Amino acid sequence: MDGEDGAPKSLMEEMYANGIEGVDDAPSSSTSTTIRKNRPIISGEQLDIEAYAALYSGRTKIMRLIFLADHCDNSGMQLEALRMAYDELKKGENTQLFREVVQKIDGRLGPNYSTDATWCAMVDRKADQRKDKLESELNAYRTNLIKESIRMGYNDFGDFYYAHGALGDAFKSYVRTRDYCTTSKHIIQMCLSAILVSIEMGQFAHVTSYVSKAEQTPEALDPPSIAKLRCAAGLAHLEAKKYKLAARKFLEVGPELGNSYSEVIAPQDVATYGGLCALASFDRTELKNKVIDNINFRNFLELVPEVRELINDFYSSHYASCLEYLGNLKSNLMLDIHIHDHVETLYDQIRSRALIQYTHPFVSVDMRMMADAFKTSVAGLEKELESLITDNQIQARIDSHNKILYARHADQRNATFQRVLQTGNEFDWDVRAMLLRANLLKHEYNLRASRKI
């Protein structure tokens, strides 16, 4: 623990005065470096859109920028995001999304960023031509019955549909290549493409099934693919609100991921999602073994030093600074496309865990000090503790007069006696009722029998 240096008295003081002293461990990197690469992207400060967008590529970049524009209230950021989305879309072929973005811009960015009808028409025409060409090629391959070329044909179709935003058709095309896959590499390629499209469509059930399919291939996968599959699985679990499983998957992602999966997720995201889910769902031993001592994950955490700090603070019981970091991160996390639904839940769970962990080692806790440590009022703290006690997550009782929380451990012996007597009574009652009912049934049966005769 951090406080182990120095005299015991100062250790006690530090433990009690949990939040009263200032936040000393501010992240050092937020003010020092100016090199864009090392600057933390997801931090307490306002999001740097260009840097954020540079982490991603392909369709997810555009979707994220659009999401940002929809959800942030700062109109300057909004326009910046929309402008970048426009530029990105111009490089691609997705006219549907282009029209949407133009509508959102609504002319606010000047004449350069308005509907470019000629460009749209040209792209659509080219698309039709390409589609016809692909179809004729595919038919030719199908008559030739060469597996490899049919597979390539369907793959090209899938890519074409994906570039044009027809996600459902893209998914179908990719899935059709399955029948023509011959080597494990093909299967993995098919699975990865299917996973990509499913994530874009938001159908995470498919993601899980294709991840398991890819992992079952007989050949060993290369490390980047394994990392990609784990990220995808983690995202699927996150969507399904299975935070513990999501955390485990994210923590298993190796550093080989690098930037190879930028069509889906950035390494900063892996760190953030993994860190937050782990905090919300792991107990102390698991947190230490899998997060803090995890060398691979440490590389990811370096990219988001605030998350690293907050995990360390939680583990060393500096709850005030931990919650402060969380508060700072919140606004930027709400702009992230995958986690923004879950931010509230994760934060509540982390806060509950902090409260439980705080009270766990003590027999009695002064609620005023605890309220200071958690930066709330005593009344608010009392309400929170009351709900935790009712849910049986803390075994304690509140002394509302003196504002002290006393730990309470159930007396096993008395409880056993009580249960025994109660079971005896229930048995007594049940058996008597049963005999009575049996008697009634017998009487009825006799009555019916006598009527027959």
Residues forming contacts to another protein in the complex (CB under 8 A) are: 386, 389-390, 397-402, 406, 411, 413-414, 417, 420-421, 424-425, 427-429, 431-441, 443-445, 449
> How far apart (Å, rounded) are the C-alpha atoms in residues 176 and 170?
10
Output the CA–CA distances (angstroms, integers) from residue 244 to 185, 251, 286, 350, 351, in the order listed. 31, 11, 11, 13, 16
CB count, 10 Å around CB of 31? 8
Angle between helices 267-281 and 243-251 (to 10 degrees): 130
**Dist. CA 193–CA 132, nearest whole Å:** 23
Q: Which is nearer to another protein, 222 or 428 (CB)?
A: 428
Cβ closest to another protein, residue 144 vs residue 402: 402
Q: Which is nearer to another protein, 38 or 387 (CB)?
A: 387
Cα–Cα distance list, 377 to 250, 369, 384, 403 (Å)? 36, 10, 11, 12
List phi, psi (to 5°) of 397.
-130, 145
Q: Which is nearer to another protein, 1 or 440 (CB)?
A: 440
Q: Tokens standing for 386? A: 């009351």
- Comparing CB distances to another protein, the nearer of 369 and 389 is 389
What are the Cα distances from residue 442, in Å, to 93, 428, 431, 432, 450? 82, 21, 16, 15, 12
- Chain length of the chain: 453
Task: Closer to another protein by CB, 184 or 352: give it.
Answer: 352
CB of 393 to another protein, least distance (A): 12
Report residue 365 as tokens: 């806790």
SS3 (DSSP) at 365: strand
CB of 51 or CB of 420, closer to another protein: 420
Estimate to the nearest angstrom the gap between the alpha carbon of 25 and the chain centroid.
Answer: 26
Pairing of strands 404-407, 364-366: antiparallel
